[in-house]
């Protein structure tokens, strides 16, 4: 039987912190409704202490989006927690997400505090957060580079103070899949956590391993994953929601886990984020990139025309992408040219397919992609007459 994994979406917080991805209050609210429609379990709406606008955005999301848990981020500081509490107060399901760094590097160089001071701050501020919300998540920043013995002490303090979600992030994308699996198994085994405590993974993509690390963490016992639409976020970004969810859906034999995501809304969410931020998605991006379900090579085109499963492991329609797989170019074959003519309502006669194919390949030598207009013009020249094609 498949186990349920919670999706914690941080597009509006960690994702929005990436250079060039900032959103206005109304834009955040618009995207929040789309994420709600997508089915995320927890929606991290922002970092309220960061600015008045961010605090307002979190409060607006908390007021208007009623189904998911709405979280506000706060450092382990009194002012942060009080501001986050104000912002999430209208939520139907409010969460305060508080964090402090636990690696010696961060403690010494960034925070300039001792391990004991870190333990004290954790206990005091998780306790404070619980005064404002029953649902408190604690994150140990830079957990993967922390001393495991000390990290387990911090986790124990956070749980005793009232945290019910423990997030152990790979803040700088340093880990590898085998390492992160061993890490979570060790921590979960060593910490005597109550049954209601959920472990969470938040992986960054600095080495291109965020999705792989996240999936391995789930296999090791994590039941909440933190991710973003299109994988946006600080530096190289976060684990991409769409890749994680579809990996579980396509490979239940290896990943026997389910989520509450309605995958048919994935492409819509991706496109909305692109439109609101003005930041495009790379064309070969898995699931939502322009080429994710496109085929130019003749062998591939012939295969999918016979059976889509030959070169596609999922259906474009399952993630809300309009399926229009054939791209005519210099690698295309005759089967694709003939199919394109059918789509345009043109019936080829005799040797016309051979002549048309040669004509289009000559065009393809000078261009990257052949358009419908190119096809119509080539047919006109072959026949010496005007050709009417479907719009």
- Widest CA span in the chain: 86
pLDDT at 194: 97
pLDDT range class, residue 243, cuts 50, 70, 90: very high
Per-residue pLDDT, 2: 80
Cβ atoms 205, 172 nearer than 8 A? no
> What domains are there in the chain, each with its CATH number?
3-277 (3.20.20.70), 298-383 (no CATH)
Q: What is the DSSP string of 221-255?
A: T--EEEEBGGG--STT-B-BHHHHHHHHHH-TTT-
Instruction: Find residue 6's DSSP bridge partners.
Output: 224
Burial class (CB in 10 A: 0-12, 13-18, 19+), 106: buried
Residues 120-125: contacts with CB under 8 Å, at least 24 apart: 121/76, 122/76, 122/154, 122/157, 122/158, 122/161, 123/157, 123/158, 123/160, 123/161, 124/76, 124/161, 125/74, 125/76, 125/77, 125/78, 125/81, 125/98, 125/100
100, 142 in Cβ contact below 8 A?
no
Three-class DSSP category at 152: helix
Res. 349 pLDDT band, cuts 50 70 90: confident
Measured CA to CA in angstroms, residue 223 lies from 130, 176, 177 at distances of 22, 19, 16
Cα 86 from Cα 90, distance rounded (Å)? 8
The residue to which tokens 């397919």 are assigned: 353
Per-residue pLDDT at 71: 98
25-73 pLDDT, tens digit per residue, is: 999 999 999 999 999 999 999 999 999 999 999 999 999 999 999 999 9
Model confidence at 1, pLDDT cuts 50, 70, 90, reads low
- Three-state DSSP class for residue 28: helix
Of the chain, the percentage scoring pLDDT greater than 90 comes to 78
- For residue 348, CA distances in Å to 190, 211, 263, 364 come to 71, 47, 39, 20
Shortest CA distance to 241 belongs to which of 208, 288, 294, 280?
288
* Mean pLDDT of all residues in 124-134: 98
Provide CB contacts within 8 A for 371, sequence distance 6+: none
Region 295-315: what's the mean pLDDT?
Answer: 92
């Amino acid at each position: 039987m498949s186990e349920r994994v919670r999706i914690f979406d941080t597009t509006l917080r960690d994702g929005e912190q990436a250079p060039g991805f900032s959103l206005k209050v109304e834009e955040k609210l618009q995207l929040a409704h789309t994420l709600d429609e997508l089915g995320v379990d927890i929606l991290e709406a922002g970092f309220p202490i960061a600015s008045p606008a961010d605090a307002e955005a979190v409060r607006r999301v908390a007021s208007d989006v009623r189904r998911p848990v709405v979280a506000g981020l706060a450092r382990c500081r009194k002012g942060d927690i009080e501001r986050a509490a104000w912002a999430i107060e209208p939520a139907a399901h409010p969460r305060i997400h508080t964090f402090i760094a636990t690696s010696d590097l961060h403690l010494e160089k960034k925070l300039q505090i001792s391990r004991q001071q870190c333990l004290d701050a954790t206990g005091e501020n998780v306790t404070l957060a619980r005064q404002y919300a029953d649902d408190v998540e604690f994150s140990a920043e830079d957990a993967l580079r922390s001393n495991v013995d000390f990290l387990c002490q911090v986790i124990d303090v956070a749980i005793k103070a009232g945290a019910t979600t423990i997030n152990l992030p790979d803040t700088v994308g340093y880990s590898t899949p085998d390492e992160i699996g061993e890490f979570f198994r060790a921590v979960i085994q060593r910490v005597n956590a109550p049954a209601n405590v959920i472990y969470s993974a938040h992986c960054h993509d600095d080495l291109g391993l965020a999705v792989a690390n996240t999936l391995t963490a789930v296999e090791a016992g994590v039941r909440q994953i933190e991710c973003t639409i299109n994988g946006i976020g600080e530096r190289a970004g976060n684990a991409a929601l769409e890749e994680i969810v579809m990996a579980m859906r396509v490979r239940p034999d290896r990943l026997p886990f389910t989520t509450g995501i309605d995958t048919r809304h994935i492409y819509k969410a991706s496109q909305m984020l692109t439109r609101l931020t003005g930041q495009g998605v790379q064309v070969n991006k898995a699931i939502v990139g322009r080429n994710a379900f496109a085929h130019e090579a003749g062998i591939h085109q012939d295969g999918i025309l016979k059976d889509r499963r030959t070169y596609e492991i999922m259906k474009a329609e399952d993630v809300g992408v309009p399926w229009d797989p054939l791209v005519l170019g210099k690698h295309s074959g005759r089967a694709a040219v003939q199919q394109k003519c059918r789509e345009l309502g043109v019936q080829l006669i005799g040797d016309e397919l051979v002549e048309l194919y040669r004509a289009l390949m000559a065009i393809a030598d000078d261009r990257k992609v052949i358009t419908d207009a190119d096809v119509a013009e080539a047919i006109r020249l072959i026949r010496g007459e005007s050709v009417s094609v479907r719009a």
